[in-house]
Structure 1
Amino acid sequence: MSNRYAVILAAGQGTRMKSKLYKVLHPVLGRPMLQHVIDQLEIVQLDEMATVVGFGADKVIDHIGDKSQFVLQEEQLGTGHAVIQAENVLQDKEGTTIVVCGDTPLITSETYKALFDHHEQEGAKATILTAKAPNPTGYGRVIRNEKNEVERIVEHKDASEKERQIDEINTGTYCFDNKALFAALQEVSNDNVQGEYYLPDVIEILKNKNEKVIASLTPDFEETLGVNDRVALAQAEKTMKMRINEKHMRNGVSIIDPDNTYIGPDVIIEQDVIVHPGTIITGDSTIKTNAELGPYSEISNCVVGEATVIKQSVANDSQIGARVKIGPYAHIRPETAIGNEVKIGNFVEIKKTKINDFSKVSHLSYIGDAQVGNNVNVGCGTITVNYDGKKKFLTTIEDDAFIGCNSNLVAPVTIGKGSYVAAGSTITKNIPEDSLSIARARQTNKEGYASKIKNRQKD
């Protein structure tokens, strides 16, 4: 196998996106388009990768980091002009260079590898990835001769009426003999309607030199979709979503309604997980076997343990143990660690808290900046009062404690092992082990006073 290189074209401003965000940074299933392209190319194991940037270059470089070299195209003068910006990186190297667009997030590593392999096996100087388009308007057409060989590529705006009837289109992805590519680029002219230097003109230059130029027709036109506006972005999102959902279903995951389930590309889901409609799972999340998520739950950057159930709830950047029940309408905020067989009920918010095994926070509570032991019961309406306006403080609830309803635990405070907090208490001091703490005003009944209030209201 020869050396393999890549040039990624990512300098276009993307005016049709009508956005302040740099075009190739628009996300598809939570990951920028350009990142999808780079991730798939990395699987092919390239020797060198150069990304051509222009408008918004700093943001692209900050996002991609050291996964690629970067070259700047200061003026957008066409795809040929863009590729030649990588000359200093690749010009004198032996091997094969693939040229891809940064707005084609759906092309898979398998397609890239097949294109490389076909190009090298045929000993071609150029290989074009082509597809049959249902509606080829706007695409460059692949013109073949009487022997069915590639003759040239003509852009839609430069094509004749007869040429516009051709449905085999240039996807914008090519493999070239690297030295032949940069030599031919020196001969590319901008004598066309747009006054630009077109990369497809390299094909005609190579043909005129009797070099071998071939096409590799992919059966999946949808995979080659280039994203130029928000409509195409939505189409790419839908295609990527269904591709990922199908992979999980074939691996033993039950997705009840794949059309309305969103799973990110980095998510790991084990067998026999059930995902209900409206559920969104993103980031570096791992869902263990027999878990059940949704309907309408959002899980991001979480580990969800075996046989855990999360209903109509949100969980972010947290560790959730096995056989846990969460929801409905709970919010698990970042830096939370939940043990095994814990219950987090409806309208409960947990933040930066560790909750150990068998504990329960069943409803209508806020537990933040806390350490909760084993087998603790937290009653309805309990609040850890963790913030004084400047600093956050820790609440510690030790094993087997029982917190009565509508209790305020004013941090920093410790509730000792096995202790009880009476309902309606505001706790400001530590409670020793095995104690009962009552912190509320003594009840006073004023008989007959209610009628005085009612009479006053009539006046």
Structure 2
Amino acid sequence: MSNRFAIILAAGQGTRMKSKLYKVLHPVCGKPMVQHVVDRVNRVGFDKKVTIVGHGADVVQEVLGDQVSYVVQEEQLGTGHAVMQAESLLSDKEGTTIVLCGDTPLITEETISQLLQAHEKKQAQITVLTAVTENPTGYGRIIRNQQGLVERIVEHKDATEEERSVKEINTGTYCFDNQTLFNALKKVGNENAQGEYYLPDVIEIVQSEGGMVGAYQASSMDETLGINDRVALSQAESIMKARINEAWMRAGVTIINPAQTYISSDAEIGQDTVIYPGTVIQGHTIIGEDCIIGPNSELTDCKVGNKTTIKQSVVSDSEVGNEVNVGPFAHIRPQSVLNDQVKIGNFVEVKKTTMGQNSKASHLSYLGDAEIGKDVNVGCGSITVNYDGENKFLTKIEDRAFIGCNSNLIAPVTIGEDTFVAAGSTITDDVPSKALSIARARQVNKENYQKK
């Protein structure tokens, strides 16, 4: 349905976080909490999305980019005042406006969609998103009339004992008829201890004018958790982690121990892949089918093919092909490409290097700034010497070359096809195809040297 608008409140400083980082930018499962809210809004679809920013406005805009429009709340004078800042962008429009908090990253697109549908079906002026909790202390209680409509919202401190027994609470998320919202906001006062303009006051104003106020109950209190301190941040992290892991298990991924497995909300994993404990999958990492990942592996913004094994290793910003074996204890640094059937063994570091199909470096090597062809064997302890103290240089190793153990390849240098580099060589010049290159001092034995 068209004529839907979203306002995301993200202007609060978040002093209880006790952090230099602006509150809504604290990450939950690897992504700023406000980005989670924007992602949900994007998936539901709105004609216009407005984020109200205040403290740290420039940083929030840098993170969210052009996904939303922005309005700055120069003074934090309450939620009603915050929404009023969007007047110039939305007040002349007909339709439905949803107001969401930027510190509620657990809300789902299903709940947002269902809230909108309930609001529009009843043709209400306001629909409040509510939730049920066994411990409603501190929350505003939803008092409904016999028709199930919201009669009033009573703050905890103002509630009677009977009202305090109500377990349905106000979550702070609302749907409004857009014109009704901005007309009522002009009538909201700040006669309270904080001298602020509160958005819930719109409800009483609309009711007094004969408007309908409905309520839609979220399926879980977890979705409505607002993050105000590090304790709540940790709770949200745990809830979202469990939600993500459960979704992947139901999609055909085996997670041996979900409590010890961390998967980013942006990751993609194929069927019949097995994730072992201690694994951290971050960013937009894509993993194919039938892989074995972990234990104790860290993958960040990388792409992994099918039937690949990565054990006790770190892979960042790189591409790993099909049937590749990495680890244990390997480090694949950014801008590396490991083609199909490559083997990277223990204590091998690869950086900005492409390895061709079926090539291998099985032990204790550094391969940086290199182009390595197919069926190449890099012996134990071999190094591409890519840095002269000022600049990085390229090493090329062509197909089927054999690099003996403890070889130093001083870049820039090219090792031709079907060549052999003798163990212990330091190569400073290009090696032609099919050659044997030996670059080491001749062995000299000093007999009876110990006696001297």
Q: TM-score range by the shorter chain?
A: over 0.9
**Counterpart amino acid of 1:139?**
Y
Q: Which residue of 2 aligns with 1:168?
A: 168
Paired residue secondary structure (2:450): helix
1:115 CA displacement:
0.3
1:136 CA displacement:
1.8
1:140 CA displacement:
2.1
Tell which deviates more after alignment, 327-336 or 255-264. 255-264
Q: Which residue of 1 aligns with 2:412?
A: 412
Q: Which residue of 1 aligns with 2:127?
A: 127
- Alignment partners' CA distance in 2, 1:253 and 1:451: 67
1:203 partnered with 2:195: no
Report the count of equivalent residues: 452
- Alignment partners' CA distance in 1, 2:54 and 2:154: 25
**Counterpart amino acid of 1:216?**
Y
**Counterpart amino acid of 1:121?**
K
Q: Which residue of 2 aligns with 1:213?
A: 213
- Alignment partners' CA distance in 1, 2:199 and 2:160: 19
1:135 CA displacement:
2.0
1:429 partnered with 2:410: no
**Counterpart amino acid of 1:70?**
Y
1:226 partnered with 2:226: yes
1:360 partnered with 2:366: no
Contact 2:2 2:47 in 1 (8 A): no
Q: Which residue of 1 aligns with 2:17?
A: 17
- Alignment partners' CA distance in 1, 2:261 and 2:344: 24
**Counterpart amino acid of 1:150?**
V
Q: Which residue of 2 aligns with 1:380?
A: 380
Contact 2:141 2:168 in 1 (8 A): yes
5 Å-filtered alignment, 1:23-422, equals 23-145=23-145, 148-159=148-159, 162-422=162-422
Calculate percent identity across the aligned residue pairs: 63
Tell which deviates more after alignment, 429-438 or 130-139. 130-139
- Alignment partners' CA distance in 1, 2:11 and 2:280: 32
Q: Which residue of 2 aligns with 1:445?
A: 445
Cα deviation 1:350-379 (Å, max 9, x = unaligned): 001110011110010000001111111101
Paired residue secondary structure (2:400): coil
Q: Which residue of 1 aligns with 2:8?
A: 8
Contact 1:399 1:417 in 2 (8 A): yes
What is the TM-score normalised by the length of structure 1?
0.96
Q: Which residue of 2 aligns with 1:456?
A: none
1:44 CA displacement:
1.4
1:157 CA displacement:
4.6
- Alignment partners' CA distance in 2, 1:138 and 1:127: 21
1:146 CA displacement:
5.5
- Alignment partners' CA distance in 2, 1:332 and 1:150: 57
Cα deviation 1:144-184 (Å, max 9, x = unaligned): 34654312223335545554443211111000000111111
1:193 CA displacement:
2.6
Q: Which residue of 2 aligns with 1:457?
A: none
Cα deviation 1:95-128 (Å, max 9, x = unaligned): 0000010000011111000000000000100000
Contact 2:297 2:312 in 1 (8 A): yes
- Alignment partners' CA distance in 2, 1:297 and 1:308: 13
Query: CA 1:352 to 1:2, structure 2 compared with 1: closer, same or farther past 3 Å?
Result: closer
Contact 1:341 1:359 in 2 (8 A): yes
1:6 CA displacement:
0.8
- Alignment partners' CA distance in 1, 2:435 and 2:346: 29
- Alignment partners' CA distance in 2, 1:133 and 1:225: 11
Cα deviation 1:51-92 (Å, max 9, x = unaligned): 111000011111111111111111111111111111111112
Contact 1:153 1:201 in 2 (8 A): no
Query: CA 1:2 to 1:391, structure 2 compared with 1: closer, same or farther past 3 Å?
Result: closer
Query: CA 1:439 to 1:50, structure 2 compared with 1: closer, same or farther past 3 Å?
Result: same
Cα deviation 1:252-294 (Å, max 9, x = unaligned): 1111111111111121111111111111112222111111100
Cα deviation 1:324-357 (Å, max 9, x = unaligned): 1100010001111111111100000000111001
Q: For structure 2, list consecutive stretches of 5 or more residues without a partner in the other structure.
A: none
Paired residue secondary structure (1:77): coil
1:451 CA displacement:
4.5
- Alignment partners' CA distance in 2, 1:256 and 1:134: 32
Paired residue secondary structure (2:98): strand
Cα deviation 1:7-46 (Å, max 9, x = unaligned): 1110000001110111111111111111110110111110
Contact 1:158 1:193 in 2 (8 A): no
**Counterpart amino acid of 1:440?**
R
- Alignment partners' CA distance in 1, 2:25 and 2:137: 26
- Alignment partners' CA distance in 2, 1:208 and 1:193: 23
**Counterpart amino acid of 1:175?**
C
Contact 2:336 2:354 in 1 (8 A): yes
- Alignment partners' CA distance in 2, 1:180 and 1:38: 24
- Alignment partners' CA distance in 1, 2:402 and 2:5: 64
1:219 CA displacement:
2.3
1:141 CA displacement:
2.0
1:441 CA displacement:
1.2
CA RMSD of aligned residues (A): 1.3
- Alignment partners' CA distance in 2, 1:430 and 1:451: 43
Q: Which runs of 4+ in 1 moved over 6 A?
A: none
Contact 1:158 1:192 in 2 (8 A): no
1:194 CA displacement:
2.1
Cα deviation 1:179-233 (Å, max 9, x = unaligned): 1111111111112232211111111111111211011111211111111111111
Cα deviation 1:293-337 (Å, max 9, x = unaligned): 000111111111110100000001111111111000100011111
